[in-house]
Structure 1
Amino acid sequence: MKNNELETKSELREASLFDKTVGRRSFLQYAGAGAAGIALVAAGCKKDRGYDNPTMNGGVTLDFKDDFGVLNYAYALEQLEAAFYIKVASAPAADFTTIQKNYFTDVQFHEIAHREFFKKALSTAAIPGLEVDFSSIDFTKASSVLAAAKTFEDLGVAAYNGAGRLLVSGDFLLIAGKIVSVEARHASWVRDQITPGSFSDLTSLSAFGADSTNALDGALTPDKVLPLAAPFIKTKINVINLKSQN
C-alpha cells in the first residue's frame, strides 16, 4: 500500500484545506505547520539546491551528509505515522470508545500535517512515498490499534530527540522540537488508554532510551530507530553518511 496513493475520505478532506471554504478547526490544525514550512523554505530548502536523492536496490536512500538527510528521515517516519492514523480513522475498531474514536480522527490530521509539511518544504529533495506494511496490526480491535499507536509514538519521540544532535541549523532544530512535543502528547494519551494513570511513566520506556531516574525521555539515533520501524515499512531504506554517535 503506497502512502501517497491512499484515497480515503481523510485524504479527500485534507485536500479541502486548500479551498476557501475550509473550516476553522481544520485551518487551526494546519496553520502552524504551514507557517513552519514557509520558514523552512526561507532557510534554504529550495528547488534550486540541486540536492540529490540517490536510490539503491530498488529502495530509497537517506543521505545524512547534511540537514536535508535528517529532514528526509523525519519525513519517512511521518509518512508511516500518517498512513497508520488514516487507516485507523477510516475504519475505527468496533470496540473503540467514543473518546478513542475522536482521538484517532483528530490526530490523523496532526500526522498528515507533519507529513505534508516535510514533503512541501523538501520539495524535489524529498524521498518518494514509502510502501507500508500493517499486516501485523488487527485494525478491528482497539487493543491491537492502541498497542501499535504506542509503538509508533514512543518511537517517534525517541527518533526526534535522537535526530536533534544531527541538525546544524537552529531553525530546523526548533521545528523538530515543536513536532516532538506534539508526538509526546500523543504518546502520553495512548499510554493512558492502555493503562490508566500511566501517562507519565518513564520506567517502561527503557527500550527507547528513557532515563526514569533523571526524568529524561529517550533519544535514539537513526541506526537504532529504523530497524524498529522496519517491520511496518516494505520499501527498503538505505542509510549513507551517518556518523557514529557517542
Structure 2
Amino acid sequence: MKTDSQESMLNANMARRSFLRYAGVGVASVGLLATAASCHKDHKITPTPPAGTIDLGASGDLAILNYAYALEQLEAAFYLQVTATPYSGITSSETTLLTDIRDHEVLHREFFKAALGAGAISSLTPDFSSINFSSRASVLAAAAAFEDTGVTAYDGAGYLITTPAYLTIAGKIVSVEARHAALIRDLITPGSFAGPDVVDTTNSLNASATIASVLKIANTYLKTKVTAVNYGYASV
C-alpha cells in the first residue's frame, strides 16, 4: 500500500509539472465552475440521494465535471497502488508505461480538484479488494475496465456540457484516456487496441455509456458510493 509520504511526494511532483499548462487553460477560465448554476431541465428530477452517498449535484456543468473528477480520483488511486506494489514479473517497460499513466491520472485528478474549487465533491475512498495487485492478469484486466469505462463515460456525457471551454478540456482528457485504453488492451492482447467491443465496425465510432451505467461500475470499486440523482439519473 502507498504511504502518506509517497502520496505527498507524488503530488508535489505533479504540481511542479504544472497541470494547468497541461490542460491548456487557466484557473480563471475554470474557476467559475464553483458558482455555475445552469441545469439541463430535460434530465432534472428531485429525489433525495440515498443516505451515506456522495451526489454529483444538480447544477449542469458543475455536476458533469464532478462526474469526471470522481472517475479520475478512482483511476489515480488505482495506478498509485499498481506502481506502489508492482505485480509479479512486471517488466521495466511495463513499469515505465504504468507510471506514465499514473502521472496522467494524478494530473487529471488534481486539475479537476483545483478547477472545481469549493464546488468539488469530497475525496473518495477506493475499495480494490476484488483486485489481486500481485497478479498481472488481475491488474491489467482492472486497468482495461477503468480505461474503457472512462472513455465511454466522457463520450456519453460530453453532450451535457454547455460551456465550450469545459467541452474542450473534456475532449483533451478523453483523448489521453483513449490512448491509455489502447495501450492497456495491447498489453493484454497485442492488436486489440480497437476491438469491436469498444469501436463499432460500421462507423468506427467509440462506444459511449450513460452516467447511471458508469457509476454502477465505478461504485463497485468505491467504499462510499457516488450518485447522480439530483442531476436526474438513477442511483447506483
- Inter-CA distance 37–140: structure 2 relative to 1 (3 Å threshold): farther
Residue 96 of structure 1: SS of its match in structure 2?
Answer: coil
Residue 168 of structure 1: SS of its match in structure 2?
Answer: coil
Shift of 1:106: 1.5
Q: Does 1:33 align with 2:23?
A: yes
1:82 — aligned with what?
Answer: 76
Which consecutive unaligned segments of at least 5 residues does structure 1 have? Answer: none
Matches within 5 A, 1:118-129: 118-129=112-123
Shift of 1:194: 0.4
Alignment check: 8 A CA contact 1:34 1:117 kept: no
Matches within 5 A, 1:156-175: 156-175=150-169
Shift of 1:63: 1.9
Alignment check: 8 A CA contact 1:81 1:152 kept: yes
2:40 — aligned with what?
Answer: none
2:210 — aligned with what?
Answer: 221
2:51 and 2:80 map into 1 onto residues whose CA distance is: 29
Matches within 5 A, 1:80-229: 80-201=74-195, 203-205=196-198, 210-229=199-218
- Inter-CA distance 128–34: structure 2 relative to 1 (3 Å threshold): farther
Q: Does 1:7 align with 2:1?
A: no
1:235 and 1:243 map into 2 onto residues whose CA distance is: 20
2:33 — aligned with what?
Answer: 45
Amino acid at match of 1:186: H
- Inter-CA distance 189–29: structure 2 relative to 1 (3 Å threshold): farther
Alignment check: 8 A CA contact 2:19 2:110 kept: no
Alignment check: 8 A CA contact 1:138 1:145 kept: yes
- Inter-CA distance 183–6: structure 2 relative to 1 (3 Å threshold): farther
Residue 231 of structure 2: SS of its match in structure 1?
Answer: coil
Alignment check: 8 A CA contact 1:154 1:184 kept: yes
Bigger drift between 57-66 and 93-102 goes to 57-66
Shift of 1:16: 3.9
1:45 and 1:169 map into 2 onto residues whose CA distance is: 10
1:79 and 1:174 map into 2 onto residues whose CA distance is: 20
Tell me the alpha carbon deviations over residues 87-114 of structure 1, each in whole angstroms, 9 at most, x when there is no partner: 0011111211211111111111100000
Q: Give % identity.
A: 43
RMSD: 2.4
Shift of 1:219: 1.1
Shift of 1:17: 4.6
Alignment check: 8 A CA contact 2:36 2:59 kept: no
Which of 1 and 2 has higher RCO (CA within 8 Å, sep 6+)?
2
Q: Does 1:68 align with 2:62?
A: yes
Amino acid at match of 1:90: A
1:213 and 1:17 map into 2 onto residues whose CA distance is: 40
- Inter-CA distance 50–174: structure 2 relative to 1 (3 Å threshold): closer
Shift of 1:173: 0.7
Tell me the alpha carbon deviations over residues 32-90 of structure 1, each in whole angstroms, 9 at most, x when there is no partner: 1374545312xx224xx387xx9751221112431100000100000000000000011
Paired residues in the alignment total: 223
Residue 228 of structure 2: SS of its match in structure 1?
Answer: strand
Which consecutive unaligned segments of at least 5 residues does structure 2 have? Answer: 38-47
